[in-house]
Structure 1
Amino acid sequence: MKIQDACVDCIINQSARVADAIHADEKLQTQLISTVEEMSKSFSFSQTPPQIAAYVYEKMALIAGKSDLYDEMKEHSTQKARSFVPQLREELAKSDDKLLTATKIAVAGNVIDLAAEVAFDLEEELYKIFETEFTHDDFAQLKRSLENAKTVLVIGDNVGEHIFDYVFIETLQKLYPDAAFSYMVRGVPIINDVTMKEAKEAGFDSLCNLVDSGVNTPGFDYARANDEAKALYDSADIVISKGMGNFESLTPTHREKVYFLFKVKCNVIANFLGAEVGDIICKVV
């Protein structure tokens, strides 16, 4: 998906959120915001929002002298997400459809997004997610694909959300013990996206095959991925892609059986899908 005018405003607004996240003084805050405003004048509308975000955040990190702008908030998100794990396991234990419950859990975690236009409360989302229907509902097809898959790639999105992804993959492994599962993360810190650091801290390297995509974008940009990530993306029987950044980066994509799981958090995506902000999506291409 290419950027639209609304995406430009969103990216500019993110500079103010970055300033807040790093506790910037007034001078640094002004420098961050004014720099992004100036950069926005030359944004290319042939690029995706994650591609634009990559060099914007790189510039902000350079100005701030901080390679991981959201390190403190990522740690907080992880701790908060972990506090819900007992509740998630309880929901799974009593569920008559563990795949659906695990999938809803994976989507619920997607509300942890520090770049989103609209913020959602994680506790409130967990309260209602299991009674919420998918607006785009390809869940039955996902289930059929999983029953026949030997290799499954899950592309991660945000920190905190990755704790919910762990529970999701753990459940998939129990339901489909003959399949091999991989979890793919970003190559460098970008916004609050999950990297090898957070994935290893969560134990993904013991849970499944953990892969560094090599990308510097807040979304899996195939052209920027390393050879291992490209090969895995191309060869996996199915791909489960988490979050809007991955949807923006992989729309369109060259392969079939890519399942997008996310919560709609901006009007651009809502309009593209014929959905509303707040809807949940399980969509296959």
Structure 2
Amino acid sequence: MLVAEDCIPCILKMAIGGLRSSKLDANLMRKALMGIMEKIMSTDDVWEITSAELVERALLFIKNFTGITDPFLETKQKTNATAMALMAHFRNYIKSSRDPLFTSTKLSIIANVIDNMVLDGNSQYHFDKIISDVESLPLDYGTYEKFLDKLSTSKSIVIIGDNSAESLFDMLLIETIKKYFPVEASYIVRHEPTLNDVTLDDALNFGLNQVANVITNGIIGPLPGTILRRCSAEARNLFWNSDMVIVKGGGSFETLSEEKIAMPHVFFLLMCKCKVHMSFFNKPIGEGIIWRRDSYELREHQKQVQRNSL
């Protein structure tokens, strides 16, 4: 999915949050913001790249301007600590639910809203809402059944992580899957810090390596997505040779949906969080998404629908 007009204010909002966390004075803040608008948002190819790539360019500008590599680190660590303290509570919730696999899938999807591109600046997600949100989350059960069918025939799965605290709920999903199916699980994290996304240090701190083989995607640069040609050979081999790939989040959806090849073994799990996604999926904001791109032609059709609706 390429950059759309509605992506621009969203990315600028993220950039303002990152600059504020750098504690610049007002004059430097405005200078940096003008620089992003003039040097990042006004390039000739801005409409020919994905929003994740545009976010990467903005983050590299912030890094060069402030000298800070990970402007969202403090906020991420606070959110992670809060989520980790609640893991036993959520494990019990899954265990006591009528359908633990469906519940853990919905939890993993709804945790996708723990996102610096959605939250206001450096604000925190309110975890006390998550169970009520899960109970009311609209999710197409027909697509979920296809997801379940693929799981039931898979011997190896790989999950591509997104936001850091979200990956704790992915860990609960992996734990639950393994209770139902004898699968080998791998988990791919960001190679470099970007936004509040999961890194190798985060994953090891969470104990994700106790339920899955954890590797980084190998991508050099703060890209909040997955571009296969930029991934390491190890990550690409896992992607293509695993029986099933579960891709979390909007950034990896937007980048992988641009790959000119069918991916029938790949399922995308995310929340519909913006107008661009709403147009693409034909779903309202706030609905959970399980999406499978069976063919490259389907991607082209849905891109045309998106263009026509903007």
Give TM class, smaller chain. Answer: over 0.9
**What is the alpha-carbon distance in structure 2 between the residues aligned to residue 263 and residue 4 of structure 1?**
18
Q: Gaps (5+ residues) in structure 2?
A: 294-310
**What is the alpha-carbon distance in structure 2 between the residues aligned to residue 142 and residue 34 of structure 1?**
45
Count of equivalent residues: 284
2:41 counterpart residue number: 40
**What is the alpha-carbon distance in structure 1 between the residues aligned to residue 185 and residue 135 of structure 2?**
25
- Measured against aligned partners, the alpha-carbon deviations of 1:196-220 in whole angstroms (never above 9, x if no partner) come to 1111111122321101101231011
Please give the secondary structure, in 2, of the residue aligned with 1:138: helix
**What is the alpha-carbon distance in structure 1 between the residues aligned to residue 255 and residue 14 of structure 2?**
19
Show the 5 A alignment for 1:1-285: 1-38=1-38, 39-42=40-43, 43-116=45-118, 121-135=126-140, 137-176=142-181, 178-215=182-219, 216=221, 217-253=223-259, 254=261, 255-285=263-293
Contact 2:191 2:199 (C-alpha < 8 Å) held by counterparts: yes
272-281 or 131-140: bigger deviation: 131-140
2:297 counterpart residue number: none
Contact 2:189 2:217 (C-alpha < 8 Å) held by counterparts: yes
Please give the secondary structure, in 2, of the residue aligned with 1:96: coil
TM-score if structure 2 supplies the norm length?
0.86
- Measured against aligned partners, the alpha-carbon deviations of 1:3-29 in whole angstroms (never above 9, x if no partner) come to 111112221222111123333322332
- Measured against aligned partners, the alpha-carbon deviations of 1:158-202 in whole angstroms (never above 9, x if no partner) come to 0111111111111112221x2110000111011111111111111
**What is the alpha-carbon distance in structure 2 between the residues aligned to residue 68 and residue 117 of structure 1?**
17
**What is the alpha-carbon distance in structure 2 between the residues aligned to residue 18 and residue 283 of structure 1?**
31
CA 13–158 in structure 1, closer or farther in 2 if over 3 Å, else same: same
CA 137–34 in structure 1, closer or farther in 2 if over 3 Å, else same: farther
Please give the secondary structure, in 1, of the residue aligned with 2:202: helix
Contact 1:16 1:32 (C-alpha < 8 Å) held by counterparts: no
- Measured against aligned partners, the alpha-carbon deviations of 1:232-269 in whole angstroms (never above 9, x if no partner) come to 10111111111111111111443212111111111111
CA root-mean-square deviation = 1.8
Contact 2:19 2:71 (C-alpha < 8 Å) held by counterparts: no
Contact 1:150 1:179 (C-alpha < 8 Å) held by counterparts: yes
Please give the secondary structure, in 2, of the residue aligned with 1:41: coil
CA 264–136 in structure 1, closer or farther in 2 if over 3 Å, else same: farther
**What is the alpha-carbon distance in structure 1 between the residues aligned to residue 282 and residue 119 of structure 2?**
18
**What is the alpha-carbon distance in structure 2 between the residues aligned to residue 3 and residue 183 of structure 1?**
27
Please give the secondary structure, in 2, of the residue aligned with 1:275: coil
**What is the alpha-carbon distance in structure 1 between the residues aligned to residue 99 and residue 56 of structure 2?**
39
TM-score if structure 1 supplies the norm length?
0.94
**What is the alpha-carbon distance in structure 1 between the residues aligned to residue 14 and residue 137 of structure 2?**
29
Contact 2:186 2:212 (C-alpha < 8 Å) held by counterparts: yes
2:298 counterpart residue number: none
63-72 or 118-127: bigger deviation: 118-127
**What is the alpha-carbon distance in structure 1 between the residues aligned to residue 57 and residue 229 of structure 2?**
16
Q: Gaps (5+ residues) in structure 1?
A: none
Please give the secondary structure, in 2, of the residue aligned with 1:262: strand
